[in-house]
C-alpha cells in the first residue's frame, strides 16, 4: 500500500483531499445503469483526490505517483456509464475540472483545456459564431476531455459521425507517465492513440476540436401510430441531405410516458421521433413527416431550452438519457448499445424489436459511420439477470447487429471489435510503461517494466 500521506506532502500547494465522502463521490460515475458493473464497482474509491490548476501541477502529480508507484485515474464530469473513471486499485483520482479555459479559436478550431464543461465551451463558441459538432446527452455536466476519453458519440452524429471520424479530433496535449512525465503534443492522425482510451494512454490536458458554424436549432417531437413508420421517417430524415439536422432518435411506444416534459403531448400507444432541425428546414420536415403519417406534437427552441435550467432540451431524452429517464421512475431496467447494419437496417431493427418486445423497449438513434448512415440503439431492457442479458445480446448478434457491451469494464470488451487498435496499445507501452494510468481498463496491456 502506498504512503498516501507522504504523497500528499510531496504535492503540497496543489488542491488535494482525503475526505472520505469526497473520495467516494469523485470515484463514481453512472456505471450503476448496469447491475453487473454496480456489483463490481460499488465501494471502489481513490485514496487521494487531486485537482490540478495547470499542466505543471499535472506533471508534478504524475511524477510523484510514478516515483511512489501509485495509480492515477483521471476524471472529468463523471458522466460515463462504464466506470471509466472508477479507480480499480485506489491511488489518486485526478479531477480535471479546474483546467477549463478556452485557449484559442482560429479557423473554427478551438484549443481548450480538457476540464471545460461542454455546455460552457459551446456557449463560449456560440458567442464567437461557432458551435460544437458533437456532444453527449450529458452536455450540461460532461467535460470535453471526458467526452474524448470515454465517450465520443452522440448528438451531431447524424451529420458528423463520431469523434473517431478523421478530422473530428484535431489534436491534443497529453501528460505521460514516462520517466520523467512530459507533455506530448499529438496532431491529426497521431492523436488517435489518446482517443477514447479512458485516460489509460496519458492525461489529456488540452484538446483541439473542430467546430461548425453556429446556427439555431428546433427541437421537434413527432408522434407516429406505430414504431415502423417512425423508424422509416427517422432513417429518411438521416438520408435527407436538404434538411440540416443534429439528431434523430426513435422510441417505441413504451418509452414516451417516461419523458416528463413531453409525455402528455404523445398520444397513448404512439411511437415517437425526436429531432433537432434547422429552423429553415421545418417546412421540408413537415412534408417528410406527413409522408410517413407523423404528426408534430411538440416543438421548442433547442438552444434556449438548453440554457434554461428548468427546461429539458430534447437531447436529454435521447442517447443514454433515455435510460436515465426510465430509471428515474423504475430501477428495474438497464440497457444495451447496438449498431445495426448499413443495409436493410430496419429489417434488423424489427427482427429484434418484435422478438423481445416485452422486455426490450426499442430506442434507436440515427448515426453516420465512415460516411454511411445507419442506426445505433440504446434500448431499455427489463432486467432479468446477466444470463438473460447474454442471451439477448447473442440473439442481437445473430441478426448481424453489432454490440458495444456497456456491462463490462475494459475498453476491449466494450468495443464492437473486442480490441484496442495497435497504435493505442503501442502508445500505451510508450507513455505508461508501468501501467499506472487507470489500471484494469485496457485489458491487453501488460506492463513492460516493474518498479
Shortest reach from residue 373's CB to a second copy, in Å: 6
Cell of 171: 489534436
Considering the complex, state which of residue 73 and residue 424 has its C-beta at the smaller distance from a second copy.
Answer: 424
Q: Is the dihedral of CA 445, 446, 448, 451 positive or negative?
A: positive
CA angle at residue 49 from 72 to 20, to 5 degrees?
A: 125
Distance, in Å, from the CA atom of 240 to the CA atom of 131, rounded to the nearest integer, reads: 22
Residue 418: C-alpha distances to residues 84, 333, 407 (Å): 16, 25, 13
Shortest reach from residue 66's CB to a second copy, in Å: 32
Contact indicator for 74, 96 with CB cutoff of 8 Å = yes
Shortest reach from residue 214's CB to a second copy, in Å: 7
Considering the complex, state which of residue 13 and residue 213 has its C-beta at the smaller distance from a second copy.
Answer: 213
| CA-wise closest residue to 204 among 64, 134, 99, 122 | 99
Shortest reach from residue 428's CB to a second copy, in Å: 22
Considering the complex, state which of residue 368 and residue 418 has its C-beta at the smaller distance from a second copy.
Answer: 368
Q: What is the CA radius of gyration of the chain?
A: 22
Shortest reach from residue 246's CB to a second copy, in Å: 13
SS3 24: helix
The count of residues in the chain is 451
Contact indicator for 296, 341 with CB cutoff of 8 Å = no
Contact indicator for 352, 400 with CB cutoff of 8 Å = no
Considering the complex, state which of residue 50 and residue 276 has its C-beta at the smaller distance from a second copy.
Answer: 276
Shortest reach from residue 204's CB to a second copy, in Å: 18
Considering the complex, state which of residue 156 and residue 435 has its C-beta at the smaller distance from a second copy.
Answer: 156
Contact indicator for 27, 42 with CB cutoff of 8 Å = no
Binding site for a second copy (CB under 8 A): 106-109, 129, 159-161, 165-168, 170-171, 187-189, 210-216, 238-244, 278-281, 283-288, 368, 370-373
Cell of 362: 426499442
Shortest reach from residue 295's CB to a second copy, in Å: 16
Shortest reach from residue 166's CB to a second copy, in Å: 5
Q: Is the dihedral of CA 13, 16, 18, 22 positive or negative?
A: positive
Considering the complex, state which of residue 108 and residue 433 has its C-beta at the smaller distance from a second copy.
Answer: 108
Contact indicator for 28, 42 with CB cutoff of 8 Å = no
Shortest reach from residue 241's CB to a second copy, in Å: 4
Question: What number of other Cβ atoms are within 10 A of residue 224's Cβ?
Answer: 25
Considering the complex, state which of residue 132 and residue 281 has its C-beta at the smaller distance from a second copy.
Answer: 281
Distance, in Å, from the CA atom of 174 to the CA atom of 16, rounded to the nearest integer, reads: 21
Considering the complex, state which of residue 364 and residue 405 has its C-beta at the smaller distance from a second copy.
Answer: 364
Cell of 26: 469523485
Q: Per the omega criterion (within 30 degrees of 0), is the bond before 228 cis?
A: no
Distance, in Å, from the CA atom of 325 to the CA atom of 320, rounded to the nearest integer, reads: 9
* DSSP bridge partners of 277: 218, 245
Considering the complex, state which of residue 243 and residue 326 has its C-beta at the smaller distance from a second copy.
Answer: 243
Shortest reach from residue 274's CB to a second copy, in Å: 19
Considering the complex, state which of residue 189 and residue 308 has its C-beta at the smaller distance from a second copy.
Answer: 189
Amino acid at each position: 500500500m502506498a504512503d498516501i500521506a507522504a504523497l500528499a506532502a510531496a504535492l503540497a500547494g496543489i488542491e488535494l483531499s482525503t475526505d472520505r465522502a469526497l473520495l467516494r463521490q469523485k470515484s463514481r460515475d453512472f456505471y450503476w445503469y448496469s447491475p453487473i458493473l454496480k456489483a463490481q464497482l460499488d465501494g471502489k474509491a481513490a485514496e487521494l483526490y487531486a485537482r490540478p490548476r495547470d499542466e505543471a501541477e499535472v506533471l508534478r502529480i504524475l511524477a510523484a505517483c510514478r516515483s511512489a508507484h501509485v495509480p492515477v485515474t483521471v476524471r472529468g464530469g463523471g458522466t460515463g456509464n462504464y466506470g471509466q473513471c472508477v479507480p480499480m486499485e485506489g491511488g489518486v483520482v485526478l479531477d480535471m475540472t479546474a483546467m477549463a479555459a478556452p485557449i484559442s479559436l482560429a479557423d473554427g478550431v478551438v484549443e481548450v483545456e480538457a476540464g471545460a464543461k461542454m455546455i460552457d465551451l459551446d456557449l463560449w463558441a456560440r458567442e464567437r459564431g461557432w458551435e460544437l459538432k458533437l456532444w453527449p446527452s450529458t452536455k450540461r455536466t460532461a467535460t470535453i476531455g471526458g467526452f474524448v476519453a470515454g465517450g465520443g458519440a452522440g448528438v451531431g452524429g447524424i451529420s458528423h459521425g463520431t469523434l473517431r471520424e478523421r478530422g473530428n479530433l484535431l489534436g491534443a496535449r497529453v501528460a505521460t507517465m514516462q520517466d520523467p512525465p512530459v507533455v506530448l503534443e499529438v496532431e491529426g492522425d497521431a492523436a488517435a492513440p489518446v482517443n477514447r482510451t479512458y485516460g489509460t494512454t496519458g492525461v489529456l490536458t488540452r484538446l483541439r476540436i473542430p467546430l461548425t458554424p453556429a446556427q439555431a436549432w428546433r427541437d421537434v417531437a413527432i408522434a407516429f401510430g406505430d414504431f415502423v413508420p417512425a423508424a422509416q421517417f427517422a432513417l429518411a430524415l438521416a438520408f435527407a441531405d436538404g434538411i440540416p439536422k443534429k439528431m434523430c432518435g426513435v422510441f417505441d411506444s413504451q418509452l414516451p410516458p417516461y419523458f416528463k416534459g413531453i409525455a402528455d403531448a404523445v398520444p397513448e400507444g404512439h411511437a415517437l421521433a425526436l429531432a433537432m432541425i434547422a429552423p429553415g428546414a421545418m417546412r421540408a420536415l413537415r412534408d417528410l413527416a406527413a409522408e410517413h403519417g407523423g404528426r408534430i406534437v411538440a416543438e421548442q427552441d433547442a438552444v434556449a431550452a438548453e440554457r434554461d435550467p428548468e427546461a429539458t432540451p430534447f437531447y436529454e431524452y435521447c442517447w443514454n438519457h433515455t435510460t436515465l429517464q426510465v430509471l428515474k421512475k423504475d430501477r428495474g431496467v438497464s440497457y444495451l448499445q447496438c449498431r445495426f447494419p448499413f443495409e436493410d437496417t430496419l429489417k434488423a431493427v424489427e427482427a429484434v424489436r418484435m422478438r423481445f418486445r416485452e422486455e426490450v423497449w426499442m430506442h434507436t438513434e440515427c448515426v453516420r459511420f465512415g460516411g454511411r448512415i445507419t442506426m445505433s440503439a440504446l434500448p431499455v431492457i427489463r432486467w432479468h439477470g446477466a444470463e438473460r442479458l447474454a442471451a439477448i445480446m447473442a440473439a442481437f448478434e445473430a441478426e448481424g447487429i453489432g454490440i458495444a457491451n456497456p456491462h463490462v469494464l475494459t475498453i476491449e470488451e466494450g468495443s464492437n471489435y473486442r480490441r484496442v487498435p495497435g497504435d493505442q496499445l503501442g502508445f500505451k507501452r510508450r507513455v505508461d510503461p508501468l501501467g499506472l494510468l487507470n489500471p484494469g481498463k485496457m485489458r491487453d496491456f501488460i506492463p513492460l517494466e516493474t518498479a
